[in-house]
Structure 1
């Protein structure tokens, strides 16, 4: 099984996309993460869905989960409102050591190792300076378990 056999078209965002629109894209399409592309349409970053959610959760609640329990329901329900007006570029992490990007000939084991190493639920597949799509963790596992 190669990346080309498992890849699916995958929506992308740009650094200028609003964080709210990015979160909506994640939710509406049940995506495990987002591919952020540069001006040439190539992957510049991969944002796991949990990373997008982390942007909305106040740091003090991440550091001390007990504090999350004392926030009243109205404020907790307005969690994403703190992201209004922010663009994806404002929340991108520093350049990762390794971007989860591979070529169409990558094997299932190569993709699994890349996902594990980069803590990414998806791998972008690029061929000849063109984004072909992505292989998600779910699709990869489904393919491996079907054998």
Structure 2
């Protein structure tokens, strides 16, 4: 089984897209991660859901669990307000996670090992033709599990 056989269409956003719109896409589609493409439609970043939540939790709460306990629910419930007027690029972590990318001929064992090693729930599948590279889809951890359980 190769990447081309497992890849599925996957919704993506660009770095210039509205952050609230991207968050809504993430929620409505129940995505494991946000796939961000550059202007040439190549993978730019993969942001797992846990990192998307990072925008609503203050640094001090991440560094000290006692401080996290002191957070009021109301502080966490204003995500839309915190994202309002910003782009996906502004929402990305300072040190963005480079996308995990494979070619269409990559073997399922290699994909699995790569996903485990990079701790990402999503691998983008790209195809190159000369100077052009295009994203043809993505493989999620759920899709791999489905394959291994022979459910798909």
TM-score, normalization by structure 1: 0.88
Q: What is the match of residue 72 of structure 1? A: 72
CA distance in 1, matches of 2:51, 2:76: 18
Q: What is the match of residue 22 of structure 2? A: 22
Which is worse superposed, 132-141 or 53-62?
53-62
Gaps of 5+ in 1: none
Equivalent positions of 1:54-69 (< 5 A) are 54-69=54-69
**How many correspondences in the alignment?**
146
Asked whether the equivalents of residues 15 and 89 of structure 1 are also in contact (C-alpha less than 8 Å), the reply is yes
CA distance in 1, matches of 2:72, 2:39: 42
Q: What is the match of residue 41 of structure 2? A: 41
Gaps of 5+ in 2: none
CA displacement at 1:28 relative to structure 2: 0.3
CA displacement at 1:54 relative to structure 2: 1.2
1:12 pairs with 2:16: no
Which is worse superposed, 121-130 or 76-85?
76-85
CA distance in 2, matches of 1:19, 1:76: 17
CA displacement at 1:10 relative to structure 2: 0.5
3-state DSSP class of the match of 2:35? strand
Q: CA RMSD in A?
A: 1.8
CA distance in 1, matches of 2:78, 2:65: 18
Q: What is the match of residue 147 of structure 2? A: 143
CA displacement at 1:8 relative to structure 2: 0.8
CA displacement at 1:9 relative to structure 2: 0.4
